[in-house]
């Protein structure tokens, strides 16, 4: 834990925070390499133990307590002998430095070599040693960052020196790096390399400036820049490079605030193969990203690339549909209807699904509906309003890529392997039908295709065939008065509760006699004369205190110290938290003096491991 670093906003592993030194540093930040070299900024590098300019322990005591000291370290190449990297000094060694912080009570930082086995505890900042050598080393860069993040306190900062450029900055911050510097931009300037967001260009190959910064505007043409003396040209190119790096940082911070950094990274990583490799390797580290990804967002999930189907929001939804959703068996018929997705969300609000619902009218309580879609896979009708099912957008061409087909087929295959239906009706065409036929063959099951081959599923005769297929599969015929709306709302809200909190919670939280009132703005759930829950703006359930009393005692709980909260819960007040809690989850706050309900603002692990920051945004609380 640290007293000096606080995270205020999160977007996966990327964070906006502040280092509380004599001059507050808002992160992610670009440190001034000249100030670092001269030891004039808020972060003081004590230097290498082999450097004559290293600050000794006596000097450490005289440094302002508002500074952060990067402790003496050993500058080693990437491929130094492992025994030297992991060397443990004894007290008689002249290079020895105890694993304890120096006598200064201020903030401290530690340089960690990429190949170092153990990571010292108790620092406020960790510095990646030899970070510049990780350029173009996708696997080592990803491994190094994740090793540090997984083995240090969640409220410590991470610094990667001499690595950042406008091209790679977004990916570095998405990885979880909080601090970079302008060293690489300066070096590139003295190499006559002109940096842009799309990469670097030798200055002698430019025909015009693709930039309107103060440097490029004043010089006007690359020819004038090329004609300048070497030192002056380097100074101006360096100035431009730093401006572009700062512009990119501002853009990345805005993406974090808006919750769209992943969308930007998917575009930005295309400039270099190694950056695309970093993103793909990171997506393979599901646990690392999943713990840091909120369960809900205000922004629309944009799925425009092959990497989009590997996003945590997508894989988490697919996993929860399998582990936290139990389909109904209406009237014992076990009939499943598979439908295609629609551009409008939720699907049932679209014109296409209105026609499907009309075709199923009178039978909807006797069948179960699922929707096939890329990239989410399988969306049960009960979960169509939950993020991200109602909050995504994709490029529609009418043709499916091999990756899309394989992914959606894997989701449908897993779903049908787990849940057995007596009858399966697929009212789909094109890529959707290809997915169903693939799964049908893989599982050796029979699927009835109701859409006419050469016509749209929305064609009148296709819709008529859908109705006929359903009629022949159900045992009970509908009453004469058809209704396209008569489906049990109890089934839906219980399914939402299961998806949100765990399989079986829906029945415990919402009894059979519960009353559900709904309107265009949402729904409200009442039981035994009290409101127990209502809908949130994300299609999920927001608990009341009465609802919290009905919840299982061991899930989504945040246990606090002995106090009655008068506002939101800060991390120092948290004693323990359910490790499955993620940012934006609905949680129950419990202590010896109070019980409350609210929304998590950080993961359960971060609540326990942090000494600063907002843990839970309380909605209601009462004393015991």
pLDDT at 608 over 60: yes
Which of 61-65, 116-120, 521-525, 543-547 has the lowest average pLDDT?
Answer: 61-65
Write the pLDDT tens digit of every residue in 400-439.
Answer: 889 899 999 999 999 999 999 999 999 999 999 999 999 9
Contacts 24+ apart (CB under 8 A), 103-107: 103/57, 103/60, 103/61, 104/60, 104/61, 104/63, 104/65, 104/69, 105/65, 106/63, 106/64, 106/65, 106/66, 106/67, 106/68, 106/69, 107/2, 107/3, 107/4, 107/19, 107/21, 107/67, 107/68, 107/69
pLDDT at 270 over 60: yes
**Domain definitions of the chain by residue range:** 1-181, 189-259, 301-473, 500-624
pLDDT of residue 538: 86
- Closest C-alpha to 612, from 65, 14, 17: 17
In order, the DSSP letters of 559-575 are EE-SS--SSPEEGGGEE
pLDDT at 571 over 60: yes
Q: How confident is the model at residue 91 (pLDDT cuts 50, 70, 90)?
A: very low
**Phi, psi torsion values for 123, nearest 5 degrees:** -100, 160
| CB-facing half-sphere around the CA of 614: CA atoms within 13 A | 15
pLDDT at 102 over 80: no
| Cβ neighbours around 202 below 10 Å, total | 10
pLDDT of residue 510: 96
pLDDT of residue 94: 45
pLDDT of residue 388: 95
Q: Which CATH number fits domain 500-624: 2.30.130.10, 2.60.40.1260, 2.40.128.630, 2.40.50.140?
A: 2.30.130.10
Write the pLDDT tens digit of every residue in 150-187.
Answer: 999 999 999 999 999 999 999 999 999 999 999 999 99
pLDDT at 330 over 70: no
* Whole-number Å distance between alpha carbons of 38 and 81: 31
| CB-facing half-sphere around the CA of 184: CA atoms within 13 A | 26
Tell whether domain 301-473 is in CATH 1.10.357.10.
Answer: no
pLDDT at 483 over 50: no
Alpha helix segments (H runs only) across 155-311: 169-175, 183-190, 214-219, 222-226, 230-258, 261-268, 273-284, 286-292
Average pLDDT rounded to a whole number, residues 125-152: 94
Q: How confident is the model at residue 479 (pLDDT cuts 50, 70, 90)?
A: low
pLDDT of residue 398: 77
pLDDT of residue 93: 45
Average pLDDT, the chain: 90
Q: How confident is the model at residue 333 (pLDDT cuts 50, 70, 90)?
A: low
pLDDT of residue 76: 80
- Considering the segment(s) 1-181 as one domain, its CATH architecture is Alpha-Beta Barrel (3.20)
Q: Which residue has the higher pLDDT, 103 or 596?
A: 596
pLDDT of residue 97: 46
pLDDT of residue 139: 96
Average pLDDT rounded to a whole number, residues 472-496: 72
| Cβ neighbours around 61 below 10 Å, total | 10
Radius of gyration of the chain (CA): 29
Whole-prediction pTM value?
0.91
pLDDT of residue 98: 42
Which stretch of DSSP H or E encloses residue 70?
strand 68-70
* Whole-number Å distance between alpha carbons of 522 and 532: 14
Handedness of CA 200, 204, 206, 209 (dihedral sign): positive
Q: Which residue has the higher pLDDT, 523 or 57?
A: 523
Which stretch of DSSP H or E encloses residue 143?
helix 138-150
Q: Which residue has the higher pLDDT, 593 or 521?
A: 593
Write the pLDDT tens digit of every residue in 180-213.
Answer: 999 999 999 999 999 999 999 999 999 999 999 9
Listed in sequence order, the residues at least 6 apart from 115 whose beta carbon sits closer than 8 Å to its beta carbon are 78, 80, 82, 85
Residue % of the chain over a pLDDT of 70: 92
pLDDT of residue 57: 57
Residue 316 CB-density burial (10 A; 0-12 exposed, 13-18 middle, 19+ buried): middle
């Amino acid at each position: 834990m640290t007293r000096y670093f606080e995270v205020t906003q999160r977007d996966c592993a990327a964070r906006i925070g502040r280092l509380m030194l004599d001059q507050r540093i808002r992160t992610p930040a670009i440190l001034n390499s000249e100030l670092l070299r001269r030891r004039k900024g808020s972060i003081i590098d004590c230097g290498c133990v082999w450097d004559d300019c290293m600050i000794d322990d006596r000097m450490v005591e005289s440094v302002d307590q508002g500074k952060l000291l990067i402790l003496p370290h050993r500058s080693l190449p990437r491929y130094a002998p492992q025994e030297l990297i992991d060397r443990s000094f004894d007290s008689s060694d002249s290079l020895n430095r105890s694993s304890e912080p120096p006598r200064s009570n201020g903030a401290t930082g530690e340089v960690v070599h990429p190949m170092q086995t153990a990571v010292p505890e108790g620092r406020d900042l960790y510095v990646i040693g030899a970070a510049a050598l990780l350029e173009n080393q996708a696997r080592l860069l990803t491994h190094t960052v994740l090793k540090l993040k997984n083995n240090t306190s969640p409220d410590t900062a991470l610094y990667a020196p001499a690595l950042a450029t406008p091209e790679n900055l977004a990916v570095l911050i998405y990885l979880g790096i909080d601090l970079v510097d302008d060293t690489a931009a300066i070096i590139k300037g003295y190499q006559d390399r002109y940096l842009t967001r799309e990469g670097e260009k030798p200055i002698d190959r430019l025909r015009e400036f693709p930039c309107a910064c103060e440097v490029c505007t004043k010089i006007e043409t690359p020819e004038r820049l090329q004609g300048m003396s070497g030192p002056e040209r380097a100074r101006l190119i360096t100035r431009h490079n730093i401006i572009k790096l700062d512009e990119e940082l501002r853009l990345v911070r805005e993406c974090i605030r808006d919750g769209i950094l992943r969308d930007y990274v998917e575009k930005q990583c295309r400039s270099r193969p190694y950056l695309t490799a970093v993103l793909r390797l990171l997506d393979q580290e599901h646990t690392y990203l999943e713990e840091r990804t909120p369960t809900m967002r205000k922004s629309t999930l944009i799925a425009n690339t092959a990497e989009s189907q590997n996003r945590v929001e997508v894989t988490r939804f697919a996993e929860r549909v399998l582990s936290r959703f139990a389909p109904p068996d209406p009237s014992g018929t076990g009939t499943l209807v598979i439908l295609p997705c629609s551009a409008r969300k939720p699907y049932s609000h679209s014109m296409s699904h209105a026609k499907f619902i009309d075709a199923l009218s009178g039978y909807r309580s006797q069948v179960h509906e699922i929707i096939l879609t890329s990239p989410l896979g399988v969306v049960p009708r009960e979960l169509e309003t939950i993020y991200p099912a109602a909050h995504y957008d994709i490029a529609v061409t009418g043709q499916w890529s091999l990756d899309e087909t394989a992914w959606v087929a894997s989701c449908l295959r897993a779903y049908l392997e787990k849940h057995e239906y007596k009858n399966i009706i697929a009212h789909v065409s094109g890529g959707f039908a290809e997915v169903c036929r693939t799964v049908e063959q893989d599982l050796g099951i029979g699927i009835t295709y109701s859409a006419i081959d050469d016509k749209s599923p929305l064609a009148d005769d296709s819709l008529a065939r859908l109705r006929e297929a359903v009629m022949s599969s159900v045992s009970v015929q509908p009453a004469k008065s058809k209704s396209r709306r008569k489906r049990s709302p109890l089934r839906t809200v219980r399914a939402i509760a299961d998806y949100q909190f765990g399989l079986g919670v829906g029945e415990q939280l919402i009894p059979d006699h519960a009353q559900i009132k709904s309107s265009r703005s949402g729904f409200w759930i009442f039981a035994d004369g009290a409101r127990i829950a209502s809908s949130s703006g994300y299609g999920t359930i927001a608990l009341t205190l009465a609802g919290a009393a009905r919840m299982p005692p061991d899930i989504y709980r945040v246990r606090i110290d002995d106090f009655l909260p008068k506002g939101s819960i800060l991390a120092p007040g948290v004693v323990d938290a359910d490790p499955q809690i993620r940012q934006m989850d609905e949680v129950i706050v419990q202590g010896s003096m109070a019980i409350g309900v609210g929304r998590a603002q950080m993961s359960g692990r971060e609540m326990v491991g942090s000494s600063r920051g907002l843990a839970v945004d309380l909605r209601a609380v009462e004393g015991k």
